Structure 1
Amino acid sequence: MPGKKQSRNGHAFHPIMRKGGVHEKTNKAKRKADKLHTSRKVGEWPSQIVSQAA
């Protein structure tokens, strides 16, 4: 029994609402996380060399 099509949320598909949809980290947040990860790895680096030499 084909009934009436269910209407969709018009606000969710509006062209102006491009930010709607899957929530992801912004590029700025990704960049900051990469920088933090790199700086932590650099901080660990000297201690790894000393422990390997001993």
Structure 2
Amino acid sequence: MKQERRNGHAFHPIMSKGGVHEKTEKAKRKAAKHDMKRKVSEWLDVKGGTSSTPTPVSFSYSD
């Protein structure tokens, strides 16, 4: 009984570095920051705050 030939490239040692591709740490941090900003914006909208324009601060000095 003859064995079926196998793909010699599929189990080559250099192919062991393959597999599931994950996002980089930088991409994960950026996504977390984006998510946090979105949640803050939603929270401010619910609370009645303004998320798009900051409140201007004016100082007046009297002599």
TM-score (norm. length: structure 2): 0.53
Runs of 4 or more consecutive aligned structure 1 residues displaced over 6 Å after TM superposition: none
Q: Which runs of 5+ in 2 are unaligned?
A: 49-63
Which structure has greater helix proportion?
1
Please report how far the alpha carbon of residue 39 of structure 1 lies from its aligned counterpart in structure 2 after TM superposition.
Answer: 0.8
Bigger RCO of structures 1 and 2 (CA < 8 A, at least 6 apart):
1
Aligned residues: 45
Identity rate, percent: 44
Q: Deviations over 1:1-54 (max 9, x none)?
A: 3515523431312xxxx3x2111111211111011000111112121013xxxx
Residue in 2 that maps onto 1:24: 22
Q: Which runs of 5+ in 1 are unaligned?
A: none
Question: Does 2:15 align with 1:12?
Answer: yes
Question: In the alignment, residue 12 of structure 1 is paired with which amino acid?
Answer: M
Residue in 2 that maps onto 1:46: 44
Greater Rg over alpha carbons, structure? 2
Q: Give the root-mean-square deviation of aligned CA atoms.
A: 2.0
